[in-house]
Amino acid sequence: MHDDRRLTEERLDRFTREFLNGAVYSHSAPVTVTAWPAPGEPMPFAEAVAQEYTAITPGTPWGAPWSTLWLHVTGAPPSEWSDVDGALELRVELGFTGGPGFNAEGLVYRADGTVVKGISPFNAYVPLEPGEPVDLYIEAAANPDLGGDFVSPTHLGDRETAGDGPLYRLGTIDLALRDLTVWELQQDVWTLNGLMHELPFDLPRRHEVLRALERMLDVVDPHDVAGTAAAGRAALAPALASPAYGSAHRITAVGHAHIDSAWLWPVRETARKCARTFANVVDLMDRDPSFRFACSSAQQFAWVRDRYPELFGRIKDKVAAGQFIPVGGMWVEADTNMPGGEAMARQFVAGKRFFLHEFGIDTPEAWLPDSFGYSAAMPQIVAAAGSQYFLTQKLSWNQTNRMPHSTFLWEGIDGTALFTHFPPVDKYNSDLSGADLARAQKNYREQGTGTRSLVPFGWGDGGGGPTREMLAAAARTASLEGSPAVEISSPAEFFDAAAAELPHPPRWVGELYLEFHRGTYTSQANTKQGNRRSEHLLREAELWAATAAVRTGFAYPLEEFEEIWHLVLLQQFHDILPGSSIAWVHQDAERNYAAVARRLERIIAAALEALAGSDSRTQRVADAGERRLVFNAAPHARDGVPALGAAVADAPESVPPAPEGSGFRLDNGVVSALIDARGLLVSLVDAATGREAMAAPGNLLQLHRDIPNHWEAWDIDSFYRRDVTDLVDAEAVTAERDAVVVRRAFGDSTITQRISLRADSPALDIENDIDWHERQKLLKLAFPFDVHAERSAAETQFGHVFRPTHANTSWDAAKFEICAHRWVHVGEPDYGVAVANDSTYGHDITRRPIDSDGATPGTATQAASGTATAAASGTVVRLSLLRAPRYPDPETDQGRHRLAVSVRPGATIGDAVEEGYRRNLAPRSVPGAAAVPALVAIDHPGVIVEAVKLAEDDSGDVVVRLYESRGTRASATVRADFPHESAVRTDLLERPVDAPEPAGDVRLTLRPFQLVTLRFRR
């Protein structure tokens, strides 16, 4: 038999493109369309429909960037259509220029204000009832398509620079009859053609499908598709009826619409995206009761509840019916690398409380398909929130290594393990095509022991969700020879079935590091600084408000705390905190952080006033020249003030610099630091060990070319290290009253450093005031230490994670940029150095050669690139201070920044923990004379109190969250210094997990990094 395969395939392609697709709609009729362009920001339906509308015709340009055009569509189907079979629909062509989620979008309302469905590319229709007149409004959003190449600058992401030229040209809006037989034939062809192209040439099934499609082509008349479509379906029926292999891979298809809570659009637009997508989903559910859809992010439900109450009521009905499924249990799909421990816990507290309150559902899984890597602390946090499963997909983006498992146990830093699934379809917005289903089967790593994987299907990122075409594909592949067997179901049902067939799954220990998007630890420094500051202000505000409530009857602002937490948690979304959104998003974030700070400062001031009996405003200790009542929110005693309490104390002072040679020395008897004439740190010695910490000059600023191959704000590519300038030239190095001041200029930027040492402090402080105006550059701050460290420790949520400083394997080499919270530590068994920061997350820590006498060959540039060789190795710690990517915000990081760093020689891990809190939690002082005892005290220095607050249920109970911080076993006593009836261990949602203990001290035995929440019943 001659091989005419390619001829038939080309014939099919042309038939589908030129004849079949155009025959789906058999009849069309005009409607009347009028329009009103809304000025400024979006407005509610009731206001918009009251405006004066004027006629608009196809071809009319519309839509300045981020604007809204309201359309009013009226008409009636022709009377003769009553005798024609088909589904009546309104077709809406807004002038789409690309795919869904990154384009013009619309939301359709009835005249009474109820929501019908969304409009987007590939889903641009509105089902209508036969014979009924049309009276609909469409809220059309002119969202710019900013997808592009992810590197080229665009000014469309800032309302001030986006311009006012129209982006779109209105297409045809009309009534149409959809020929259901032709549409079904279209779906048959799409499914079989997709399957055929994934089957190997030597498999008979491939050729059976080809010949079935050929027979369809023979019986369907291209010039009368409607009249012959039934015959075409009959020709394909045997091929579609052939059942799946008994050993076929089983796919749980879950309707999904990953909607970024902000990204290439502002937060305000996300709320509208949710309404459009959710309306589409509910409409599909009304037509197909078997359809199920999973949706994460309580914040998105809350937006719809507050702005579209009628739609939210319909969603609640579908949730009750088991069709619309809340998943994930978080407030948003957050970044997990950078949020602090308490903030990460509150993602689940806020999300799960919302789902329980609104729907009565306790979600069993964490759902994070698109975050940029996953902290090793997550398994414990997820389990502590009462969940048992975890889903992600993003690691399929790894540049270097492939994850060895699809379904596995993920073990975190404390030993807690989660049953985890990594969908082998390698995407979270599948259309259930033959290619996607084949990829899921091919990539599944547990072949032979497991049989199933999960596929999230539906248009995502910018929303849209599943379509009727995707449901048709699922129905056709439920049991189809050559294809995985597809079943629409829920995530929980998938996880239960997968766990049952894999009683002994493989285990992955430690973080799920994404070998990509490493620049997100650094981009948008102001957003990151706002997050860090907000987290610590919330700690202070809750601590002092709870203390004042117990001690003085102060009114604890529970509702206000919830509002503030929700805003801070929203801004930890995985495209906001990582710095990968348009300018508008980050401008909003900075304004929100400023508002958060003002609100929390008011709460703190009021609580301290109540505790101190003072009506004076609080001020920082550094500004107080006399003995005052000092409040210490840190978990360690400081300067004579107990942890979590207040005492009368003197404000610590900094030692004055002393000239030495051509430089200056700072020496407080605990630490001695020498800064040379270039402003570099050439010596750092702690008195306790007498050991020199520096292997080469530190406090070295280094400027790198930073032009990644793709994804500018997201990526740092390893070759950045090959181009570096050491900024060793100083304009001035001077001694001021309490600091050495170093001034440098480079490119179009300047930096002023204040290097100081407080009396009795074990750490040297460096404050960097940077006026940054570079483009596509990366600014690093380097400290070459005379420490032989094979691994570094970096703080993460409720503990720390170790990472290699070498590149022995491809897994090690891929971690050339890492994330740390408040501190990193490098050390030998009996000596180490800690570097703490106040808002920096990106670091790199590498080995570097040194001579046997401690001298360092070569330059710091060589150390960074690893080109020098010598007999022994030291360790270079570098902090990534600032970047300057051009996309998606061309002004990223431009302007003024103040970033603080401290270096503590002779430090243990415990010292590093303490230094991290000191760097981020300055004491406060107010006039007052009476000490304020802490509500709780712990007798073990390694057991850290992370939060003291009142209970979420407004009972007035005191909740204390603590953890073991050093990675060792710890036995500790928790003493509550206030009357209480009992104490009980709870989960993160403050639900008991143990029996209550009577009033008195609480004895705890903690495993390394264990997280514990205690609730004291007052």
Active site residue 370: yes
CA dist 611 → 214, 605, 661, 938 (Å): 84, 10, 50, 22
SS3 content of the chain, % helix, strand, coil (to 5): 30, 30, 40
Q: Do 834 and 684 touch, CB atoms closer than 8 A?
A: no
Least Cα distance to 178 among 302, 292, 28, 303 occurs for: 28
Structure tokens at 266: 């502002």
Contact by Cβ (8 Å): 300, 261: yes
What are the structure tokens assigned to 785, written together?
Answer: 């230490």
- For 778, the enclosing helix (H) or strand (E) is strand 777-785
Torsional sign, CA 316, 320, 325, 327: positive
Sign of torsion, CA 91 92 96 99?
A: negative
| Among 269, 334, 259, CA closest to 295 | 259
Please answer whether residues 785 and 694 qualify as being in contact, where contact means their C-beta atoms are separated by less than 8 angstroms. Answer: yes
Identify residue 194 by its one-letter amino acid code. G
**Cβ 395 vs Cβ 422: under 8 Å:** yes
Q: How far apart are CA 955 and CA 375, in angstroms?
A: 33
Nearest-angstrom CA–CA distance, 943 and 1003 = 12
Q: Please provide residue 893's backbone torsions phi and psi, each rounded to the nearest 5 degrees.
A: 65, 5
Which residue type sits at 179? D
What does the H/E/C string look like for 236-251?
HHHHHHCCCCCCCCEE
Asked if 922 contacts 847 with a C-beta cutoff of 8 angstroms, the reply is no
Candidates 228, 235, 186, 247; CA nearest to 210 is 235
Q: Which two tokens stand for residue 1004?
A: 């705890």
Q: Residues near 524 by Cβ (< 8 Å), separated by ≥ 6?
A: 578, 579, 586, 713, 889, 892, 893
Task: Say how far residue 759 (Cα) sits from the centre of its chain.
Answer: 41
Please provide the distance, in angstroms rounded to a whole number, between the alpha carbons at the two ends of the chain: 87
Which helix (H) or strand (E) segment holds residue 226: the answer is: helix 225-241
- Please check whether residue 347 is in contact with residue 331, taking contact to mean a CB–CB distance below 8 angstroms: yes
Segments in 754-807 forming alpha helices (H): none
Distance of CA 469 to the CA centre of its chain: 30
Q: What is the DSSP letter of 185?
A: H
- From the list 680, 722, 717, 728, the residue with the least C-alpha distance to 704 is 722
Active-site residue among 158, 179, 370, 431? 370
For residue 898 the two structure tokens come to 């103040």
The residue among 69, 114, 132 whose CA lies nearest residue 95 is 69
860, 918, 903, 905: which is closest to 766 by C-alpha? 903
3-state SS assignment for residue 350: helix
Q: In this structure, what token pair is assigned to residue 338?
A: 């950078």
SS3 188: helix
The CA R_g of the chain, rounded to the nearest whole Å, is: 31
CA distances from 869 to 158, 315, 847 (A): 49, 65, 11
Q: Say if CB 824 and CB 793 are below 8 A apart.
A: yes
Q: What gap in Å lies between CA 315 and CA 300, rounded to an integer?
A: 12
- Nearest Cα neighbor of 836 from 761, 897, 891 is 761
Residues with a catalytic annotation lie at 370
